[in-house]
Chains A and B, each alone.
Chain A
Amino acid sequence: MNHIKTLDTKNLCESAKNGGCGECQTSCQSACKTSCGIANQQCENKKETK
């Protein structure tokens, strides 16, 4: 039986190759302004390998 279900996620190792366009939102700008995190930022790089 299958014991593990793997969700569809971005591969961070792949993103090292084509990431870094810098077009994404500045983390707490336009939002919470007090407790930073980057997890909820959207990638805006259409060329990046997902």
Chain B
Amino acid sequence: MIHCYKLGGLNIVLDIFSGSVHVVDEVAYDIIEMYEKSDKEQIISEILKKYKNRDDVTKEEIEICISQIEDLKDAGKLFTPDTFSPMADTLKKKTSGVVKALCLHVAHTCNLNCEYCFASQGKYQGERAIMSLEVGKRALDFLIENSKGRRNLEVDFFGGEPLMNFDMIKELVAYARKREKESGKNFRFTLTTNGLLIDDDVIDFANREMSNVVLSLDGRKEIHDRYRVDYAGNGSWERIVPKFQKLVKERGGKNYYMRGTFTHANPDFLKDIEEMLSLGFKELSMEPVVCAPSDASALTDEDLPIVLDQYEKLAELMLKKHREGDPFTFYHYMIDLKGGPCIYKRVSGCGSGTEYMAVTPWGDLYPCHQFVGDEKFKLGDIWSGVTNTEKQGEFAACNVYSRPECSNCWAKLYCSGGCAANAYHATGAVTGVYKYGCELFRKRMECAIMLEAAKALED
């Protein structure tokens, strides 16, 4: 399978099953599109006809181009057949029985009251609660016990607002540092915060102990304050931005994401990215809102072309800034063509419900943070482990080849079938497909690969 597209002045051909990326001229682009449907004589005739006003497009030159295409095909870099389909189950089974990441819901409560929150203001359709140190420690023990040979273990402090349980987080990280020495593991912690409770103590701790921090900022003040308000209805932008700036300034180059949400209120989210840049932030992420289609904040069909155009304009801006020596990153455009994921990862996906689980303040296990609060997805708890093996089996069976809708999609080995939670909310099945999300994903991949291609050609 191949995918051909034109973006940023480049003609790009992706060979899906080898992972190869080719930048081609106009003639080669047309020939590659015709190659599998036409014989050599037909191609020559069609190309000569199309380029009749170009002296350089001769029969000989077309034959040279065809031979270059054939060389790439012989080298396994073009029109590569799918050899992964028969091994999809085997690849996915490599994750069987191994847990390597937990999302710890240390606070099912929040000091903001954001209307668009998928977690219903941090409560996840339940009662407000705080995770105890005892539960937190047992969660880490559970992770170590079930991680088998995996060394790198990820733990995300999530909520609600996790800093509403900051003292416990500090004690738990100290416990983890002790346990990782004994067990030969390496914990990577992440903190996701709305920023309100950031102070010097938090900054010092987060910049020392957190591999990553995810800082929630929606961009422009009027956009941010539309949803991200406290219980008195006051916007939070002015209170959090100086705190985020101080934290990032003192972070010393360690990873962070300035993470925004865009909704029906701001499909023109590039303006919010530009606002983040003007505030001095360079590692950015803007995510489409997750909510019911009936929600006022939900993205609509009318928003879709605007959003797709914004993704292209964002790529153009990134290329411009790269050329000016003032680059910034965007989470979804961070693609490493040489050092990216292997085919095992591409087939097996995010690992929700198998490698990755969420832990509630009470110690219950769910397939991921987005299923917390939906009782039928409860997998077990951190004391007894996974007991709902039937439900876990649904997640274990998810791979890129288990979704018929993905079979003809060129982007499948970049998304690995997509998000189970998005699929469930859109279709009622974790093996479904959230088609709106697919549209956004494909555009993001085209932009990301174009950016890498443009940089590779210039460097």
Interface residue from A7, A29, A37 paired with B356 (Cβ < 8 Å): A29
Interface residue from B65, B87, B415 paired with A38 (Cβ < 8 Å): B415
Cβ < 8 Å to A, chain B residues 56-104 = 61, 64-65, 68-69, 72, 76-77, 80, 83-84, 87, 91, 94-95, 98, 100-101, 103
Please tell me if the beta carbons of B419 and A5 are within 8 angstroms of each other in the complex: no
Which residues from chain A contact B152 at a C-beta distance below 8 Å? Answer: 23, 25, 44
CB distance from B297 to the nearest CB of A (A): 13
Number of A interface residues in the complex (CB < 8 A): 44
Which residues from chain B contact A1 at a C-beta distance below 8 Å? Answer: 61, 64
Please tell me if the beta carbons of A42 and B76 are within 8 angstroms of each other in the complex: no
How many interface contacts (CB-CB < 8 Å) are there between A and B?
223
Interface string of B179-197 (1 = CB under 8 A from A): 0000000001010100000
CB distance from B284 to the nearest CB of A (A): 11
Instruction: Say whether chain B's binding surface is mostly helix, strand, loop, or mixed.
Output: mixed
CB distance from A7 to the nearest CB of B (A): 4
Please tell me if the beta carbons of A19 and B344 are within 8 angstroms of each other in the complex: yes
Considering the complex, give the chain A residue whose CB is closest to the CB of B20: A9
Query: Is B413 part of the binding interface, using a Cβ–Cβ cutoff of 8 Å?
Result: yes
Query: Is B170 part of the binding interface, using a Cβ–Cβ cutoff of 8 Å?
Result: no
Which residues from chain B contact A40 at a C-beta distance below 8 Å? Answer: 331-336, 340, 448
Which residues from chain A contact B376 at a C-beta distance below 8 Å? Answer: none
Please tell me if the beta carbons of B285 and A30 are within 8 angstroms of each other in the complex: no
Please tell me if the beta carbons of A39 and B212 are within 8 angstroms of each other in the complex: no
In Å, the complex CA distance between A22 and B414 comes to 17
Which residues from chain A contact B420 at a C-beta distance below 8 Å? Answer: 36
Considering the complex, give the chain A residue whose CB is closest to the CB of B190: A30
Please tell me if the beta carbons of A13 and B83 are within 8 angstroms of each other in the complex: yes
Asked, given contacts A13-B76, A37-B441, A40-B335, whether A24 binds B61 with beta carbons under 8 Å apart, the answer is no
Interface string of B318-339 (1 = CB under 8 A from A): 0000000000000111111111
Which residues from chain B contact A27 at a C-beta distance below 8 Å? Answer: 349-351, 416
Please tell me if the beta carbons of A45 and B342 are within 8 angstroms of each other in the complex: yes
| A residues lining the B interface (CB < 8 Å) | 1-13, 15-16, 18-20, 22-45, 48, 50
